[in-house]
Structure 1
Amino acid sequence: MKPIKEVENGDYNENQRKITKTYMMILVFCLLISLFGGSLLGWWLHKYHSTNRQLWMVPFSLILFLTPLIIWFSLLISQLCISKSDEELEDGSHMSQLIQIHPKR
């Protein structure tokens, strides 16, 4: 994630703060789900692996363990790949700089 930028009056940019807060909430939620999936897999390994019972727990726990990590990683990579010009386009503040009117020849 990009660092939070300061605006002219010293306050933090609210949009960046909301994005950062959202990504951190997603990270915590993903980590909790992954911990639950890893714990479920460990419990299956301890209790049922020797008898090969309750095999449904293995793919279920692997899905719970890996999917949130993949989702958060993809969000992190996508945020890092957004260029500064793309952010300016989303704000709409620099749209006038991109539109140039050429006189007819």
Structure 2
Amino acid sequence: MNNGKPANIYDLAHYKWLLPHIRLLIPAEWISIWTGMEYKNNQLLLSSGGPTTIATEVWYPGYPKSDASWTNVGVDVNKDPESASQGMFNEKPSGPRYGVICEI
């Protein structure tokens, strides 16, 4: 819709700006959604394929995983902004998620 594409999360400031906006839209206590980013060879990549770095504090506890098949990147968002159960993660492309965040 509106020619959007799966979104990138560009840096810590963008991540911190994005989460409150997602919280307003989630129908339950949390949501897990895909981004347009990938994780390959232990490196976070933008949807353009270019490398990026992001603060380690945005990763879900225990992530990123180094398994080569876990290439897709998503974000879990909890309604409670203080919850430790949220952040970016990488997973197999077949992992079930509830949507995708897009950018235009």
More strand by share: 2
**TM-score (structure 1 length as normaliser):** 0.22
**TM-score (structure 2 length as normaliser):** 0.22
More helix by share: 1
Structure with higher Rg: it is: 1
Which structure is higher in RCO with an 8 Å CA cutoff and minimum separation 6? 2
